[in-house]
């Protein structure tokens, strides 16, 4: 299956107080962690959606071949960034699905990404997501091309959440262990357990 990862990283970081994408964690910017996890999972076609801080982020990260797109209206919420990412993925008619990754989840694991991709090869449901044992969180989410129109119709800052809640018959769940915390505030960053394995860059 031809999959493009779409990393949503356009948020202004208002609750964080600064560009959280650049906050240091383990010697790397926060956003570097999900990008490194994608590389470790073998996903090399990646679109990163940035916002107003795009120039600073462009200069600070260790880029591979990721394509960068700028959301001209990041204040419209996560759903607007998702539409920008889907438009970029749609440029290639051979792409069959997108893997939606949140840029503020630095502990996202390559093994979870691979589990979602493997499960997508075994089910015909259009949306495949992990369900973490500790908190039931659903990220990252794979969306097949035939469901992109549903995702593109979302608005606000909840992303895919409303769609997943309203259309459970479209969703295939993949049980995984652990948890996947968001980093919305400096306290969230400080609370991350230093012992949590985070994939090193390659």
Total number of domains constituting the chain: 1
Whether residue 10 is contained in a domain is answered as: yes
CA 4 from chain centre, in angstroms, equals: 11
Whether residue 201 is contained in a domain is answered as: no
CATH number for the domain that contains residue 158: 3.90.550.10
Over the stretch 134-162, which tens digit does the pLDDT of each residue have? 988 899 999 999 999 988 778 777 778 77
Which pLDDT value is given to residue 201? 46
Over the stretch 55-97, which tens digit does the pLDDT of each residue have? 999 999 999 999 999 999 999 988 899 999 999 999 999 999 9
Neighbour-count burial for 20-38, b at 16+ CB within 10 Å, e otherwise: bbbbebeebbbbbbbbbbb
Whether residue 199 is contained in a domain is answered as: no
Q: Where are the beta strands (DSSP E) in 26-87?
A: 28-29, 46-50, 67-70
Q: What share of the chain is helix, strand, coil (3-state, %, to 5)?
A: 35, 20, 45
Per the structure, the complete domain to which residue 18 belongs is given by 3-191
Q: Please, are residues 106 and 183 in contact by the beta-carbon 8 Å criterion?
A: yes
| Residue bearing the bigger pLDDT, 19 or 112 | 112
Q: Please, are residues 36 and 113 in contact by the beta-carbon 8 Å criterion?
A: no
CA distance 96 to 133: 28
Whether residue 51 is contained in a domain is answered as: yes
97-102 and 3-9 beta bridge pairing:
parallel
Which pLDDT value is given to residue 194? 53
127-132 and 67-70 beta bridge pairing:
unpaired
Token duo for residue 195? 């012992």
Whether residue 29 is contained in a domain is answered as: yes
* Average pLDDT score, the chain: 91
């Amino acid at each position: 299956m031809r999959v493009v990862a779409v990393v949503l990283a356009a948020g202004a970081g208002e609750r964080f107080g600064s560009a959280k994408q650049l906050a240091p964690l383990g010697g790397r910017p926060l956003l570097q962690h999900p990008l490194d996890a994608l590389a470790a999972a073998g996903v090399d076609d990646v679109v990163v959606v940035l916002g107003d801080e795009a120039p600073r982020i462009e200069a600070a990260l260790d880029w591979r071949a990721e394509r960068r797109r700028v959301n001209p209206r990041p204040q419209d919420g996560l759903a607007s960034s998702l539409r920008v990412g889907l438009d970029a993925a749609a440029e290639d008619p051979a792409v069959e699905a997108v893997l939606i990754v949140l840029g503020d989840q630095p502990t996202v694991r390559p093994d979870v990404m691979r589990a979602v991709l493997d499960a997508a090869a075994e089910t015909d449901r259009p949306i495949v997501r992990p369900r973490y044992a500790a908190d039931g969180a659903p990220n990252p989410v794979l969306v097949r091309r035939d469901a992109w129109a549903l995702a593109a119709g979302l608005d606000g800052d909840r992303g895919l959440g409303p769609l997943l809640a309203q259309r459970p018959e479209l969703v295939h769940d993949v049980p995984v262990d652990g948890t996947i915390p968001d980093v919305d505030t400096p306290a969230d960053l400080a609370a991350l357990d230093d012992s949590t394995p985070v994939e090193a860059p390659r």
